[in-house]
């Protein structure tokens, strides 16, 4: 059965180009499974994007196709980054847009990490 959110990966998307080093980024963290960098248009004092290194469009795609090692490595990176930035105490927000209703702009799975001020309600009311 086809899984919604799994399509043909677009190798020209901006995060694929960042991963290939064709476009610069302000790197925060890199390991075998993940790359994290500052968002170019920050929505909070700290706004970091964490992406898996593999070619995955969405959470559905990632969880259906990635190896357990990739999934664990990526999730571990998210936790490691937040911890290493000292964000556990003040707190932070993780968010992943997937698909049309969410307004996902870049078709490469990414988790936003927001911090640095009280972040207000989860959704615009
Ligand atoms: P989405 O709306 O897909 O969840 O989030 C995409 C994010 O990527 C946006 O917050 C946008 O500011 C960020 N972004 C788009 N292009 C670039 C870029 O070239 N470099 C960086 N660092 N961030 C980008």
User: For residue 103, which atom of ligand 1 is closest to its CA?
Assistant: 2
pLDDT at 107 over 70: yes
In the chain, the domains with their CATH numbers are 25-115 (3.30.428.10)
The 93-95 sheet, strands edge to edge: 27-30, 34-38, 46-52, 111-115, 93-95
Residue 114 Cβ < 6 Å to ligand 1? no
| Distance between Cα 99 and ligand 1 center (Å) | 15
Whole-model pTM: value is 0.95
pLDDT value, residue 4: 54
pLDDT value, residue 76: 98
């Amino acid at each position: 059965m086809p899984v919604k959110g799994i399509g043909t990966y677009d190798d020209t998307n901006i995060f694929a180009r960042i991963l290939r080093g064709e476009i610069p980024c302000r790197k925060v963290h890199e390991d075998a499974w993940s790359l994290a960098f500052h968002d170019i248009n920050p929505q909070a004092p700290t706004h970091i994007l964490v992406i898996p290194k593999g070619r995955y469009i969405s959470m559905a795609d990632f969880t259906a196709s990635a190896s357990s090692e990739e999934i664990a490595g990526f999730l571990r990176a998210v936790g490691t980054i937040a911890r290493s930035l000292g964000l556990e105490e003040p707190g932070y927000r993780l968010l992943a847009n997937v698909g049309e209703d969410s307004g996902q702009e870049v078709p490469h799975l990414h988790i936003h990490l927001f911090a640095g001020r009280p972040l207000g309600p989860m959704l615009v009311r």
